[in-house]
Amino acid sequence: MFFLLVMRACSQKQPIQATVTPSDPVVGEEIFFSDSTSGARIWYWEFGNNETSTQRSGYHRFKQKGVYKIRLTVNGNLERYFDVRVKEKTNAEDLHLVHIIAPKEAIQGENIIFRGEGHDEQWRWEFGETGMIDSREKTALYAYTEPGEYEVLLNTENTRYPIRHRINILPYYSENDSTDVMVLIGLDIKEKLQNIADGKPFNVNYNYVVDKYFNNNPNTLVVINNNKYNDFYSYCQGLHHIGRKETIIQNVIVETEDEESGYITQITVMQIEKKK
């Protein structure tokens, strides 16, 4: 089945769709940066410490504390800035304090990773939508069914009061169509890959992606964490048999041959392994 992307022209300047998280790491902690701007072909990340990257997404570490202004330039003419405050890692913080590492903004229906940082043993997450405890894992996965602003609460056996984090959930489709179609496709594929990794029916999720997005081509290129490569069929088999229930799909970035045909020629998958 041919899949044609229909893009509406917009008179306003194309906004950059990108993320940097966490925004308050400690020295040496990895931050994740990623861009999914429609039509993007060239990326230039400047991290404020004389280090740069031309990758669409990846990881970066700061070696010294301080406030850094990260600048992303897309296609040479679009810019967006991110502020990152890097803290010194202290013994007290390392041993006792608990932190939430999660984005401040996401899209309705997107699988969001909430990571607890600390050495506690018991974790209780409340994501503000159900009114109850939603997860008891240190690293939790959650998708909001409704847009809005939510307060996330995290309790452990050593916290007297909950750790709080606010997140803004954008609607899946926006009235002005500024929501990137490619981002929505990436989210859809990400959901199906996570289903495969979680041990859900393989053929249903695999065939859905191949039929709807890849023009029935199982050899579509998959780039994993910017340094490993597989055809889509082999990658999904690996998720199903080797990475089963141990892999978290963080992000899926879709690339097309051209915007008119809409044929997807490559996807980039950012993934991590669950900590045991």
Helix spans in the chain (H): 91-95, 181-197, 202-213, 232-241
Q: pLDDT higher for 151 or 212?
A: 151
Confidence class of residue 11 from pLDDT cuts 50, 70 and 90? very low
pLDDT in tens, 229-267: 999 999 999 998 886 778 899 889 888 765 555 678 899
Which residues are CB-neighbours of 216 under 8 A, at least 6 positions away? 1, 210
Confidence class of residue 125 from pLDDT cuts 50, 70 and 90? very high
pLDDT in tens, 32-71: 898 888 888 999 999 999 999 999 888 999 999 899 999 9
* Chain-centre distance for alpha carbon 134: 20
Is residue 239 within 8 A of residue 193, CB to CB? The reply is yes
How would you classify the pairing of strands 163-170 and 105-107? Answer: parallel
Q: What is the pLDDT of residue 166?
A: 94
Percentage of residues of the chain with pLDDT beyond 70: 86
Q: What is the pLDDT of residue 110?
A: 80
Please name each of the domains of the chain with its CATH number.
Answer: 18-86 (2.60.40.10), 91-170 (2.60.40.10), 181-273 (3.10.450)
CA distance 128 to 140: 14
Note if the pTM is more than 0.75: no
Q: What is the pLDDT of residue 69?
A: 92
Sheet of 264-273, strands arranged across: 228-231, 221-224, 264-273, 247-256
Judged by DSSP in three states, 24 sits in: coil
pLDDT in tens, 98-118: 889 888 888 888 878 898 988
